[in-house]
Amino acid sequence: MPRSLIQRMRHDRYVLLLTYADYRRALGGLERYMREETQLLDKGGFSAVCLFPFTTRRSRWLDRHLSGYWGVTVDGAVAGFYDEIALENLIVAWGRAGKRPVEIQLHNLRNLNLDRVRRFLCQMPLPVRLFLHDYATVCPKSSLLRNGEQFCGREPPSAAKCTGCVSWTPDHHRRIRAVLESVRERLQVVAPSRAARHVWLGTFPDFEDRVEIIPHLQTAGSRPNVYSPRPPAAAIRLAFLGAAGRHKGWEVFRRLAARAAAEKWPYDFLHLGWVRDPVPGIRNIPVSVVQDGPDAMIRALRLADIDIVFLWSLCPETYSYVLQECLLTNAMLVTNPDSGNIADTVMDRKAGRVFAGPAELEKYLGDVPLVRRDVDSYRSRPATLPDRLVPNDAILAALDGTADFVLPAGTGRARPNRLAGFLYGLKELKSRAGQP
């Protein structure tokens, strides 16, 4: 193994993180969490080794070939693509250089060969933590929306429940359970919220004693609540945040905007985020974490002085970053009972209202005097507000950096696959050039 690959690892202890793609190249909640966690690990004296699959989505033949390799990043830098034997040899070579793994983290198993994952876990006698960023361990449709339409419930997958759904994959549940059973005695499941734990245990009730709740973020600092009621004739500002996805309630929001315009209700409908095609009656305020930094949405919410935030996820959110950002402001929140962590938080924190469905919300918005009273009540209630969000460092507490584990013996050199590395480099160049 090249000496540079050993030197690239900044610390003598490291964590292995498995996920569905290179976390450095995407901007979703999972990728945000992994970037923040790797920074926490670094500060705590641990390196981060991420393992991920590489799929082209263009050639089935090529994807079958590439499925035999793990992409590897070490402390944020690509180290190459390795087959099972070469990866084992890589870990052994690190061990000879005094680098010790302390834990394996399963963040998302989508796109990964589950039989290969199980074999890898059996070869590595380390503590294992499964993170419930979504419900991909329950169903390939990780949002649990039946045919992309509505929440299918927390009951476990079965032919009786799932026949007729395009995502019904009988073999998926069997393979996932085989992975979990193979490490049951050294497995800890991390749920970021009570809702995530509740839904997941509907399918895996026998793992109840293995689940702990560790939220992704915590608040820091404080700032005064400077809200002052608007003039009686002023429009009420109601906002949709983030990507305009159907599963986030965008179609419901559009219909509400159209109804409000038709009835001449005094609302200013806003969309804080990026949109391809502007919608009449909805004012867009561009917000980009890429261009404006990770706190872009928080700053936009405060600057726009939003009265009501529409958080209408159709699926049970495991943990909503947007929700946490809203809680730094004094905006009132509206949601539905199926939104998981959002609905739980709104009720627990008395931060807004939970409506049974769109019709009930529409009726409520039509009662403008009531809405104005509620807005004034919710927005003026806290004397102080949290100032910012920071990663929750509780995740480091369970890491045992002193334990020693017997690792595989290794059978040869740790050579990366040049073809896979070349194709990935080509994909990176196309991505930077804006090509698919």
State the residue for tokens 């009449």. 280
- Judge if 3-218+393-432 and 222-391 fold alike in CATH terms: yes
Are 238 and 307 a contacting pair, CB within 8 Å? yes
| pLDDT, tens only, 146-155 | 998 899 999 9
| pLDDT, tens only, 90-102 | 998 899 889 999 9
State the residue for tokens 């960023």. 133
CATH of 3-218+393-432, one of 2.30.29, 1.10.3470, 3.40.50, 1.20.5: 3.40.50
- Positions in the chain short of pLDDT 70: 1-7, 56-65, 408-412, 419, 422-423, 426-436
Closest CA to 341 of 314, 320, 313, 315: 320
| pLDDT, tens only, 251-272 | 999 999 999 999 999 999 999 9
Distance of CA 310 to the CA centre of its chain: 19
Q: Which residue stretches of 44-145 are H helix?
A: 60-66, 84-96, 114-123
| Separation between Cα atoms, residue 301 and residue 271, nearest integer Å | 11
Indicate the domain borders of the chain: 3-218+393-432, 222-391
CATH homologous superfamily of 222-391: Glycogen Phosphorylase B; (3.40.50.2000)
Two tokens, residue 246: 């159907």
| Separation between Cα atoms, residue 48 and residue 42, nearest integer Å | 8
Closest CA to 120 of 5, 48, 18, 15: 18
Closest CA to 174 of 104, 107, 118, 106: 118
